[in-house]
Structure 1
Amino acid sequence: MKNLLYILTFIVTTTVIAQSENSITLEKQKLKQALSYGDDMVAATAMYAIINLEGPQSTYKDSLAYLYFRERNYSSCFLVLNDVLKNKPTNLDLLKMQAVSLESLGAFGKAIEVYKTLLTKTEDNYFAYKLAGLQYALNKFEEAYTSIKKADQLPDNTAVKITFQVNKNYSQDINLKASIAYLQGVIELNLKKDNNAKLSFERAVKLFPDFVLAKGKLESLNTKEKQ
């Protein structure tokens, strides 16, 4: 009798595992097709099904976070990342998405903490620039000044361009080094360091001669000096 129970249990367990594996295979096929057709809604549904079948450690949670990030669904992206980062707290790509998601949601204080972590781990001047920008947005000018000076001292990430909106119809993509100099000047203006600010804006224009906003700040400072 016991042997019969063991055999029945084994058969049931094997059947359940086989059905689960078949279901995962079908959902992965559905996911592949949905992605090839650009159907993110169906792709997300398939990912949820795979995660449910694979359990809490499913790597498809990462894929779901990337999908939400690509869709700019930052709220859902953040919630998924909050879960995934519990097991992968040092994953740089996930931390980058978390920082952008928090910033996009207006949670500047929390975004600052993530950018600080990224800066510590990478010594990337882009993260120092982002940190300074968020601190400036929160009127933490002294902290922003420390961060932007650090950004200027670190090796330049030449691959990064920063988009500045000049007016409603025109924007410029500025290299990071010039962008750092410009933000430093803006921070210095708020700290009443006009002479330093002028030097920073001049440096920004030297690094990017057509930098419209930096030229405008210089003109304002020159006009102020003449008055």
Structure 2
Amino acid sequence: MKKIIISFLALLVFGYSNAQSTKIVTAPKGNAHIKVFNQAVSVGDINTAVIALNYYLAEQGTNNAYADTLAMLYMQQGSFAQCYYWADKRLITKPDDNGLLEMKGMCLDKMQQPKEAIAVFEKLFVRTKSPYHAYKLMELQYGIKRLAECVATGNAAERLQYKPEYTMTYSLGEQVGRTYLQASIFNIQGLALYDLDKKAEAKTYFQKQ
């Protein structure tokens, strides 16, 4: 029986692999804009923190780590075009930063540019061999019916190591749930095989979940 694909929250992938690469940095205490930024962060006021960092970067120049922080804040805010701008800009000088590349890919997905997002996550998956990046790549490939590519990514994902804590939180209407990441990958693999009229193979993946 064909199953319904669940659309997972975009920030899950971002939160998993970005935690060690793109971080909110400690700011110099003497700058007035950074004082405002620190105060805003301490009370959870993202809008004011974003404004303060924009002023700071306009004053000090954009080639510094606070541009990474600003991109992250825009991502958290759901301002994907702005996040994309800063992530893409910083990748010019930091092309090997996987956190920035991931933000760029997530923004492209949110801005309805799946082909461009696929290109980004293909690069990320080659670099990181992350099961989370494999899942996101499969989700994008399946979304535009690049089914053979989706199955190939799934085959590569099966060779990866999984831990019990590798989970995905998803929203389905007003309900929020959690499932194992590997089960989510099996689900998409099954859907892609089903659509390729390989129903017997698809069934085996659905039964693995």
Q: TM-score, normalised by structure 1?
A: 0.74
Do 1:157 and 1:176's aligned partners in 2 also have CA atoms closer than 8 Å? Answer: no
- Answer yes or no: is 1:162 the counterpart of 2:168: yes
- Matches for 1:60-209 after TM superposition, within 5 Å: 60-156=66-162, 158-164=164-170, 168-204=173-209
Q: State the structure with more CA Rg.
A: 1
Distance 1:36 1:144, change over 3 A: same
Q: Distance in 2 between matches of 1:76 and 1:49?
A: 15
Could you tell me which runs of 5 or more consecutive residues in structure 2 were left unpaired when the two chains were aligned.
Answer: 1-27
Do 2:186 and 2:208's aligned partners in 1 also have CA atoms closer than 8 Å? Answer: yes
Q: Distance in 2 between matches of 1:184 and 1:23?
A: 51
Task: Show the counterpart of 2:36.
Answer: 30
Give the superposition deviation at 1:162.
2.7
Partner of 1:155: helix, strand, or coil? coil
Query: Of residues 50, 57, 61 in structure 2, which corresponds to 1:51?
Result: 57
Q: Distance in 2 between matches of 1:164 and 1:25?
A: 41
Give the superposition deviation at 1:189.
0.5
Distance 1:171 1:186, change over 3 A: farther
Q: Distance in 1 between matches of 2:29 and 2:41?
A: 18
Partner of 1:85: helix, strand, or coil? helix
| Alpha-carbon displacement from aligned partner over 1:36-71 (angstroms, at most 9, x marks no partner) | 122222211211121122123232111110110111
Q: Distance in 2 between matches of 1:163 and 1:35?
A: 25
Partner of 1:86: helix, strand, or coil? helix
Give the superposition deviation at 1:91.
0.7
Do 1:125 and 1:157's aligned partners in 2 also have CA atoms closer than 8 Å? Answer: no
Q: Which has the higher contact order (CA 8 A, sep 6+)?
A: 2
**Aligned-residue CA RMSD (Å):** 2.0
Q: Distance in 2 between matches of 1:159 and 1:72?
A: 26
Report % sequence identity.
27
Q: Distance in 1 between matches of 2:84 and 2:160?
A: 29
Mean alpha-carbon deviation: is it higher for 53-62 or for 79-88? Answer: 53-62
Q: TM-score, normalised by structure 2?
A: 0.80
